[in-house]
């Protein structure tokens, strides 16, 4: 969930230790927000990792007053996500974030595109210590 992801990010930012992140296989949804909050220069992707960015979705039930109250929280979450992307990527305006990473449809990125947008710092082809074996 988005709120659980932000709890993890809060702990990462609070930590005195640098948090290195590695994306393997697929990094999607709120996991992408967590990944990009890693220590700059230490956000690493493997070459065949798929990256998925999209707007969050939710389901709300209740009476009219409950729906209005929930809508306020959903608006807060959307703003937090926009601000998070602007802080941890090279995208610096709301418009850029919404046009590139938070569109109405899923946005799939290659590791190279993730580097282009400042989501990740590098792609590691193989383990340097053992030659990738």
Residues in the chain, pLDDT under 70: 128, 130-133
Residues near 123 by beta carbon (within 8 Å), at least 6 away in sequence:
44, 45, 46, 47, 111, 112, 115
Give the pLDDT score at 128.
66
In the set 28, 50, 54, 78, the catalytic residue is 54
In the set 28, 29, 53, 65, the catalytic residue is 29
Residue 65 to residue 104: CA distance in whole angstroms: 27
Give the pLDDT score at 126.
73
Give the pLDDT score at 61.
86
Query: Active site includes 29?
Result: yes
Residue 77 to residue 12: CA distance in whole angstroms: 19
Give the pLDDT score at 113.
97
Q: How many CB atoms lie within 10 A of CB 15?
A: 10
């Amino acid at each position: 969930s988005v709120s659980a992801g932000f709890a993890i990010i809060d702990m990462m930012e609070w930590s005195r230790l640098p948090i290195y992140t590695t994306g393997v296989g697929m990094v999607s949804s709120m996991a992408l927000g967590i990944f990009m909050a890693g220590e700059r220069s230490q956000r690493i992707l493997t070459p065949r990792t798929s990256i998925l960015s999209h707007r969050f979705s939710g389901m709300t039930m209740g009476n009219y007053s409950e729906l209005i109250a929930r809508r306020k929280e959903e608006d807060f979450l959307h703003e937090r996500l926009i601000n998070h992307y602007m802080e941890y990527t090279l995208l610096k305006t709301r418009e850029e974030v919404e046009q590139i990473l938070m569109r109405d449809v899923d946005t799939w990125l290659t590791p190279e595109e993730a580097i282009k947008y400042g989501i990740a710092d590098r792609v590691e082809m193989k383990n340097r210590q053992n030659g990738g074996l």
